[in-house]
Structures are given as C-alpha cells and as structure tokens.
Amino acid sequence: MTPSELSVDVHGTRVRVLCAGSGAPLVYLHGLLGEFTWLPLFESLSREYKLYIPESPGFAETEGLERIESIHDLAFHYADLLDCLELERPHLAGLSVGGWIAAELAVHYPGRVSKLVLIDALGLKLPGVFLPDVFAANPRETRALLFRDPNSELALSLLSDSPSPDMLTRMLAYRQALARVAWNPYLHDPRLKERLYRVKTPTLILWGDSDRLVSSEHGRLYADNIAGARMAIVENSGHLPSLEQPHQTAEHISKFLRNS
Amino acid sequence: MKFYFFHLMPWPDLPDDFDDKSKHPSAWVTLSNKFYDAEKGHLLYNRYLDELEYAEKLGFDGACVNEHHQNAYGTMPSPNIVAATLVRRTKRMKIAMVGNGLPLRDHPLRVAEEVAMLDVISGGRIISGFVRGIGDEYYSMGVNPTFSQERFKEAHDLIIQAWTKPGPFEFEGKHYRVRYVNVWPRPLQKPHPPIWIPGFGSKETVEWCADPSRKYAYLAVFMPDHLVKWFFDAYREAAAGFGYEPSPYQMGHLFPIYVAKTDREAFEQAGEHALWLYHKGLRHKWEMLFPPGYTSISSMRRITGFAHELNWEAMDAKELDKHGYCLLGSVETVRERLAEYVRKLNFGLLLPLLHFGDMPHDRTIKNMELFATEVMPFLKREFKSMEDKWSRAA
C-alpha cells in the first residue's frame, strides 16, 4: 500500500503525516530515531485500521521545536493534531519517546484515546537505576543500545558510522528534538507515574525482550500503574520492536485492539 | 598591544594508563575524581596562584582565569573565587574572568553581584568574560544544551541591565524572572566592566559581539592560524556591516607560548607539556563536546566537515606548532612569529598561556620571565601606533 502524505497546519507548525488504510483510526507516534518512513509494521496495521503517522516537531523536516519545551508541550501538540485531523477518539500507539508522549496525552486527555499501546515507552524511571546515556553515545554505541542486533542492515541503515550529509542531519535532529524534552530529567517525567491513574482506557504495554536502553522493568512499572493494563514481550527485539520485529509487533497490536 | 597572562590550573597527575583511550576516553565528565588528591591540590592551587600574582611584577597588563567543571583540564569551577584571591594580592594589573559560564549557573544575578563586588574591591580592574561553557559541562551540570544559546543571551541581558539600570526593576525573561532586580553593589567601572567573549566555532557569536551596542572583544581560543583569520575577518566584516571599523582591542588570541634560548630547547622543554594539553587535557568524547542542540544543526554540519583538520590528538609538537595550536621557540622565533601574526591579523589582545599541561613551576617562571622581558616589550614597541590610535577607544 502506498501511503499518502498530508501536511497539517497545527497552530502554525507544519506537520507531515503519513496516512493509509481504512477502518477505525489508529495514530502511531514514532520513536526516538525519528523513523518517519513506511515500515512493514504499518503495512500490516493499515490492512485493518486507518493509520496516521505524524512526524514530531524538530525531527527531520517537521518544524516547531522552538515551541516545545517539555513533554507536556508535545502532549498538547498532539491533542491539537487530533483536532486538526478531526479524530475524536482514535486508538493511540507510540514507540519509545512516542510511547511516552502517548502516555502523557492519555493522562492529560483521558477521553481522547480509545485504546492505548505503549511500546518500549520512555517516561518512567526506576529509582536507583542509571539509564545508559543515549546522547553521549556515538553511532556504534547507539546501535548497541537500541538494537538487539547492532550490526544488522536495519541498524546500519539508520545509524551509520560515516553518515551521509542527509543521515547526519537526521541524526543531529533526532538528538536535539529528544534532548529538548528528555535531557533533564533524563528520559522521564518524575510526575508521570503518580498521574497514570488518570488513564482509563484499555492499555497494552509491549516491550522488547532485549531493550538495553530502558529495560522491561520499566514496562512493568507502566503496567502496574495503569488499571487493567496488559503487558506482552516481543521476542528478539531491542528498544525498537516496531522496526526489529514488525510482524510480532503487528500481531500483538491487532490482537489487543480486536479483543480488548 | 596588551598582554594578559592566562592560566588554566590543570590537574597534571593523571593515572599511569591514561594513554589507553579505551580506558580513559576523556579528561572530562567521566574521568573519576578519585584521581584528585586534595593534599597535592592544596600545594598546586597555591603554586598556580603564585604564578598568576607574579604576572603583575613582570608587567603584564593583566591575568586571566576561567571556569571549567569536573575535569582534569582546568580546576577552576569558579573564576570568581580565583579572582577574589587575586584582587587583594595585586594592585595594578587587570583581572580577567574569561569567563563565567552563564547558562551553567542557576542565577545570573549571582554573577552580576560577584563581578560587581570584585570590580569595586579591585578599584575597577575587572574584565568580565561570559561563556556558554563547553559541551561536556552540560553533561556535568545537567543543564539542557538545547536552551544554551537563549539562556546565555537572556542571562547576559539581565546582568547588563542589573549593572546599568537603576533598580529595583522587573525582569521578565523566559528562563529568568525576577520581580525586584536591584543589585548591590553596582560595578565601579562605567557603564560596566569590559566584556570579553571567548569563542570557538560560531559565526553568530562573532556577529553578536561586533554589534555596535556591545563591541565586545572576541577571543579566538586554541585555533589554528587559518581559523583565527577566519573569525577576525568575520568580526571585521560584521563591524563593517554595522558601519564602523573595529579596534584591534576587539580581537584577542589565546594560545600556549613557550620561549627558550633556542628553538630546539623550546621543543625539548615544552613539547611534552603541549602534548599533555592537546593529547590529554583536551581529550573529549565528540558527542560530549557537542551535546544535542548546543550548536545549530547547520554549524554542526560545517564543523563535522572540517573536523579532520582539528585532529590535534594525532599531531606531534612540531605539527601543533606549525598549525598555530602553540608557539614554541627562541626569543627571535617567538618575536617574529607573533609580529607577523599581529601585522597580518591586526589584533590587540594577546593572552599567552605560559603554563600549560604538566609544566613544572621553575619552567613556568622562566617562560614567563623570558616572555615578559624579551617578547612583550618588543611587541609593545613594534605596535606602538596601535596603542596611540586605539587604546582610548578600546
């Protein structure tokens, strides 16, 4: 399926949105690498759902980072985007930083999310656990942090040791966009855990079994703090199951959205 | 010309296996402070302060101190504390803090107050440098580097207003909000102490310094010849754009210099210390030197483009000297090279780093004395017209 690319004006910020399929609307928020391309996962999901994949401010070609100063600004930004797309109550899924934003959005606007899927979501921190530094990591170390197989074609295609000018720009952009909201407190919102009780929608927590950035213990923390949340593990995957294990990820998501 | 003796106060006692980069990828952020020994530190601070004070006896126009955090490269987390020890032990020379790392400090008014105190105590001998702090320090201090530029500018504005505008008044910034700005004491120099901005890599900073409302001195730090020229040209171009000709005292150059009897002696005595500075003290992890958002993406692309030219870790002392990262030589060599430099680039502030790396005290003193007696007077004579034409305007 070939997605169409929309350009949506969200209060002065031009946002690119990939859109494909038909069925109940499902909004998917990309992860920390700003992987804004048509992935095999989307191919599967778009068979059952009308899929919307927006690009976050500051990542690659989407502007507006100057208006983003905290994770809450991103939650408000995405609530505005839902308004612009006239999506009253879509399913919401997010990977990594996208999962964190989805959780914050569901906390701020519990009524705007039909069902929630958090995949290796940032946003929570286990006390005393020192999270590896994704900002200080060079491309090789970043691949090792994010991928179960750091030398796979997939990992190298996103994070090369000698990036082309375009890839370099994308890498600089994702670091900057993530740091804007996740430098300190590092990759988390200290108030999020105590606010998760506000999430009233059926929730699936999906986690890569080999996430070396945020371990599945963090997923467990989400599951324990959202009433009725279910947790499932994606086998043979690091921090980005949507990319590393698209079929498993798609199956988990479809099953959950159909049956919950 | 004016000469300001610069000191970094490095920590020379690195672990024996420091050459192993896989074990010690950086002298910053992650190098454990278990390698700091406070007993030795006590002696070292006092030795370094003696060297700074000695600069006045030797006739330097001033002495410079700076701010760096959590590293072996320079052990002055607070330039204001070092300056405070110097103002009462000196009578004539200027004390330049180059400078306070504004975005790294929680409150700019604290800087405004401390610098004003120093200016009043010293009888108006303070030069107030402002810096953003280098990238590693955003890791060490936990400050978000994506706000670095705007925090710097806003803190600067608040400090200048606090020094020049009668209080109390309200300051409404994005990062700093104060309902009653009313700094006591106010600085002695009017409208405020001179401001110097050390820089590396950003043309925007040069243009900001050259703005006629500021005319701040821009200092090139540890740059190879062609980059120093590039930045000074950019300064003159920006000033011309604003419709004025900048004074040479709006441009300064800071780099390591060592003077000996012969060129050979200079390399024998100081080559290893220059290598300490460039191979050890300045050992950074690239991703820490350039944290996200600290430098704009377009500047980062430019810097990545010429990064291979800045590969000082691969240069020996001869190459460092050849490219202008340091200047080691006989009196004649140092005189000639500096005179040629100044003739070509027409800058008025020279900030020689006369102690660097693990240089021992006696060598430092000898270097300072030779520079002060043989090089400094020569250059002052050679560029007397600069003094006559510009020193009042500066």
CATH number, domain at B39? 3.20.20.30
Question: What is the helix (H) or strand (E) element at residue A253, kind and residue range?
Answer: helix A246-259
pLDDT number for residue B202: 76
Residue A143 φ/ψ, nearest 5 degrees: -60, -40
* Residue of A143, A183, A186 to mutate, interface with B, max B Cβ within 10 Å: A183
- Confirm if B283 and B25 have CB atoms less than 8 A apart: yes
- Confirm if B287 and B29 have CB atoms less than 8 A apart: no
CA distance B256 to chain A (A): 29
First to last CA, chain A: 27
- Confirm if B152 and B130 have CB atoms less than 8 A apart: yes
- Interchain contact A178–B (C-beta under 8 A): yes
Q: Do A169 and B286 make contact, defined as CB atoms within 8 angstroms?
A: no
Summarised one tens digit per residue, pLDDT across range B270-322 is 999 999 999 999 999 999 999 999 998 888 888 887 777 778 889 999 999 99
pLDDT number for residue B317: 97
pLDDT band for position A92 (50/70/90)? very high
- Domain of B119, in residue numbers: 2-390
Summarised one tens digit per residue, pLDDT across range B309-365 is 778 889 999 999 999 999 999 999 999 999 999 999 999 999 999 999 999 999 999
Provide the CB-side half-sphere exposure for B89 (13 A, CA). 16
Summarised one tens digit per residue, pLDDT across range A115-126 is 999 999 999 999
- Interchain contact A172–B (C-beta under 8 A): yes
pLDDT number for residue A251: 98
Which amino acid is residue B125, in one-letter code?
Answer: R
Q: In the predicted model, is pLDDT for residue A166 greater than 70?
A: yes
Q: Mean pLDDT throughout B240-260?
A: 97
pLDDT number for residue A35: 87
- Interchain contact B308–A (C-beta under 8 A): no
Sheet holding A4-10, edge to edge: A4-10, A13-20, A49-54, A24-29, A91-95, A116-119, A203-208, A230-234
Q: Considering chain B, what is the average pLDDT of its residues?
A: 95
Q: Is the ipTM of this complex over 0.90?
A: yes
- Confirm if A94 and A71 have CB atoms less than 8 A apart: no
Q: Do A179 and B304 make contact, defined as CB atoms within 8 angstroms?
A: no
Q: In the predicted model, is pLDDT for residue B255 greater than 80?
A: yes
Residues 186-215 of B with CB under 8 A from A: none
- Confirm if A254 and A43 have CB atoms less than 8 A apart: no
Residue among B287, B293, B300 whose CB faces A180 most closely: B293
Residues of A in contact with B300 (CB under 8 A): 172
Q: Do A169 and B297 make contact, defined as CB atoms within 8 angstroms?
A: yes
Residues of B in contact with A178 (CB under 8 A): 292
Residue spans of alpha helices (H) in chain B: 38-57, 79-87, 108-122, 135-141, 148-164, 203-210, 225-242, 263-275, 286-289, 297-306, 317-323, 331-345, 361-370, 376-382, 384-390
CA distance B252 to chain A (A): 32
- What is the number of residues in chain B? 394
> DSSP readout, A123-192?
B---TT-----TTT--HHHHHHHH-SSTTSHHHHHHS-SS--HHHHHHHHHHHHHHHHHHTTTTTB-TTH
CA distance A137 to chain B (A): 7
Residue spans of alpha helices (H) in A184-245: 192-195, 216-225, 241-244
pLDDT number for residue B392: 58
Summarised one tens digit per residue, pLDDT across range B144-182 is 999 999 999 999 999 999 999 999 999 999 999 999 999
pLDDT band for position B391 (50/70/90)? low
CATH number for the domain formed by residue range(s) A4-259: 3.40.50.1820
Q: Do B293 and A175 make contact, defined as CB atoms within 8 angstroms?
A: yes
Q: Do B139 and A169 make contact, defined as CB atoms within 8 angstroms?
A: no
Q: In the predicted model, is pLDDT for residue B114 greater than 90?
A: yes
Residue with tokens 């890569």: A208
Residues of B in contact with A184 (CB under 8 A): 142-144
- Confirm if A141 and A60 have CB atoms less than 8 A apart: no
The C-alpha atoms of residue A96 and residue A244 are separated, in whole angstroms, by 13
Residues of B in contact with A190 (CB under 8 A): none
- Interchain contact B292–A (C-beta under 8 A): yes
Q: pTM (2 decimals)?
A: 0.96
Residue with tokens 């101190």: B65
CA distance B273 to chain A (A): 29
Q: Do B287 and A137 make contact, defined as CB atoms within 8 angstroms?
A: yes
Q: In the predicted model, is pLDDT for residue A61 greater than 80?
A: no
Q: Do B139 and A136 make contact, defined as CB atoms within 8 angstroms?
A: yes
Q: Mean pLDDT throughout B64-71?
A: 97
- Interchain contact A137–B (C-beta under 8 A): yes
Total domain count for chain B?
1
The C-alpha atoms of residue A193 and residue A184 are separated, in whole angstroms, by 17
